[in-house]
Structure 1
Amino acid sequence: MRMKPVVLPMMCLIAMLLAAMNRPVQAQDTAAGEASFQICKTCHGQQGEGQLALNAPALAGQFDWYLERQLQNFKAGIRGADAKDIYGSQMRPMSLTLADDAAVKNVVAYIKTLPAAKAKITLGGDANKGKALYTVCATCHGQHAEGMLPLNSPRLNNQHDWYLLRQIKNFKEGIRGKHPKDIYGAQMVPMAMILADEEAMKNVIAYINSLGK
Structure 2
Amino acid sequence: MTRPHISINFAVSADGKISSVARRPSGWTSEEDHARLLQLRKGADALLVGRGTLEADRMTMKASGDPLRCVVSRGGKFDPAHPLFHSAGGPIHLLITEGPALEIPGATIHTGSLASFLQELTAIGVKHLHCEGGGELARELAAMDAIDEIHLTWAGHTIFGGRAAPTISGVPGEFLPASGAYELIEFDPRPETGECFLSYRRKA
Q: Tell which structure's C-alpha radius of gyration is larger.
A: 1
Class of the TM-score when normalised by the shorter of the 2 chains: under 0.3
Q: Under a length normalisation based on structure 2, what TM-score does the superposition of the two structures give?
A: 0.26
Flag the structure with more relative contact order, 1 or 2, with Cα contacts below 8 A and sequence separation at least 6: 2
Q: Under a length normalisation based on structure 1, what TM-score does the superposition of the two structures give?
A: 0.25
Task: Name whichever structure is richer in helix by fraction.
Answer: 1
Task: Name whichever structure is richer in strand by fraction.
Answer: 2
